[in-house]
């Protein structure tokens, strides 16, 4: 009887602990339980809906105040409550034609090892446009909450004009196409094709123009190959995240918590994708893909896929490859894949040194 009573008491204690733990977890999660809907481009207010119990809250696109409409499912009634909200930068896909970017304050919110962020950096460097790198902490993303609280990704390009106009652009392909006008490929460039290692990544996708196909190829094949390689083991994964350990903007704990967790998580992601795509040799898959691109550039007859000057595909590919800057993946690639060197060296020369005013804040590789 005593044993049964003790077991019952222990069970009650466990239940009580679970209830308290769930309550604490809900207290943390509930404020962020917001389902994001499509942003309104006309006034840059993001409509959101929050469902809790029998009530729903919907944001109304009203400036300069943000109004929330409370809908009661029980009574069928509604009421409107408004809260003051500071308008963030206007979300655009193209910058106004009357803007002189060299006269503006330009900031790029990024992860240093992110392939998509390095695309935007390549375009900015090519234009020799001074900009500030705002390194975003991978875990809390505190740096983007003020300008883009509804968006959890990078890159974000922020532009402030001398007369006070404030813009932001999201998505690397949007940023590159807005900055670089030479976006076509030469007529002789063939469409992308799969290789022996990348058959599950690219399966004869012939929809759209050759340029559109290559643009999809950069995301579906090249990015995947780079991720498989820079995180293929814990040593290389740690090397990729090592920039966090020297970043001046993060505290000792903030930098190490992000580096340590990122190292393990992305190593696991790479292992999962390797199984998903049936890749036997990560390096071979990368070399085959890069060689495929290099042959297409050569067939086009120019130093770049766009011809005599780099275009959007060139910047997308270059940015993805440069995400492994100073790491073992880049060293092996440039040593083993000779076919890419003419194009790669031409891109290095075209982009020149970094135009970032605070480039010394970031240290890459081992």
**pLDDT tens digits, 147-192:** 999 999 999 999 999 999 999 999 999 999 999 976 689 999 999 9
| Tokens matching residue 348 | 């290095």
User: What percentage of the chain has pLDDT greater than the value 70?
Assistant: 74
What's the maximum distance between 2 C-alpha atoms anywhere in the chain?
Answer: 89
Q: Which long-range contacts (CB under 8 A, 24 or more apart) does 264-272 make?
A: 264/234, 264/237, 266/227, 266/231, 266/237, 266/240, 266/241, 267/231, 267/232, 267/233, 267/234, 267/237, 269/227, 269/231, 270/227, 270/228, 270/230, 270/231, 270/232, 270/237
Q: How far is CA 23 from CA 9, 56, 70, in A?
A: 21, 21, 25
Q: How far is CA 282 from CA 96, 203, 225, 266, 295, in A?
A: 43, 19, 7, 15, 20
Evaluate if residue 211 carries a pLDDT over 80.
Answer: yes
CA distance 112 to 240: 9
**pLDDT tens digits, 289-305:** 999 999 999 999 999 99
Whole-model pTM: value is 0.76
Please compute the mean of the pLDDT values over residues 252-265 and round it to a whole number.
94
Mean pLDDT, rounded, of the chain:
81
Q: How far is CA 238 from CA 23, 60, 179, 264, in A?
A: 35, 44, 33, 8
**pLDDT tens digits, 313-363:** 999 999 999 999 999 999 999 999 999 999 999 999 999 999 999 988 876
Evaluate if residue 196 carries a pLDDT over 60.
Answer: yes
Sequence spans of domains, the chain: 90-180, 210-350
Evaluate if residue 24 carries a pLDDT over 70.
Answer: no
Q: Pick from 253, 192, 202, 247: which is nearest to 224 by CA?
A: 202
Evaluate if residue 27 carries a pLDDT over 50.
Answer: no
**pLDDT tens digits, 239-249:** 999 988 888 88
- Band (pLDDT 50/70/90 cuts) for residue 16 is low
Say which CATH superfamily domain 90-180 falls into: Glutaredoxin (3.40.30.10)
CA distance 358 to 133: 7
- What's 307's DSSP letter? B
H-run or E-run covering 277? helix 252-277
Please compute the mean of the pLDDT values over residues 131-159 and round it to a whole number.
95
What CATH code is assigned to 210-350? Answer: 1.20.1050.10
Weakest mean pLDDT among 53-62, 215-224, 310-319: 53-62
């Amino acid at each position: 009887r005593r044993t049964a009573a003790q077991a019952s008491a222990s069970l009650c204690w466990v239940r009580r602990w679970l209830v308290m733990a769930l309550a604490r977890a809900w207290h943390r999660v509930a404020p962020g339980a917001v389902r994001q809907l499509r942003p309104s481009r006309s006034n840059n207010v993001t409509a959101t809906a929050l469902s809790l119990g029998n009530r729903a809250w919907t944001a109304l696109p009203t400036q300069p105040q943000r109004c929330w409409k409370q809908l009661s499912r029980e009574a069928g009634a509604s009421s409107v409550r408004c809260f003051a909200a500071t308008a963030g930068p206007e979300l655009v896909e193209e910058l106004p034609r009357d803007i002189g970017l060299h006269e503006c304050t330009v900031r790029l919110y990024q992860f240093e090892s992110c392939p998509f962020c390095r695309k935007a950096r390549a375009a900015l460097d090519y234009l020799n446009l001074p900009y500030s790198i705002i390194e975003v902490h991978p875990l809390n993303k505190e740096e983007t909450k003020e300008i883009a609280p509804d968006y959890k990704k990078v890159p974000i390009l922020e532009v402030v004009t001398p007369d006070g106009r404030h813009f932001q652009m999201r998505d690397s392909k949007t940023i590159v196409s807005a900055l670089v006008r030479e976006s076509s490929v030469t007529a002789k460039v063939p469409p992308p094709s799969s290789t022996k290692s990348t058959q599950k990544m690219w399966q004869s996708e012939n929809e759209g123009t050759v340029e559109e196909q290559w643009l999809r190829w950069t995301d579906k094949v090249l990015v995947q190959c780079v991720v498989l390689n820079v995180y293929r083991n814990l040593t290389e994964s740690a090397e990729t995240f090592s920039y966090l350990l020297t970043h001046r903007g993060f505290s000792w704990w903030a930098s190490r918590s992000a580096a340590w967790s990122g190292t393990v998580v992305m190593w696991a992601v790479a292992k999962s994708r390797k199984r998903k795509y049936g890749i036997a040799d990560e390096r071979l898959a990368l070399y085959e893909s890069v060689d495929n691109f290099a042959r297409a550039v050569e067939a086009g007859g120019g130093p770049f896929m766009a011809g005599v000057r780099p275009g959007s595909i060139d910047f997308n590919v270059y940015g993805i490859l440069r995400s492994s800057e100073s790491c073992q993946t880049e060293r092996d690639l440039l040593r083993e894949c000779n076919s890419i060197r003419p194009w790669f060296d031409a891109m290095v020369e075209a982009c020149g040194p970094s135009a970032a005013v605070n480039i010394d804040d970031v240290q890459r590789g081992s």
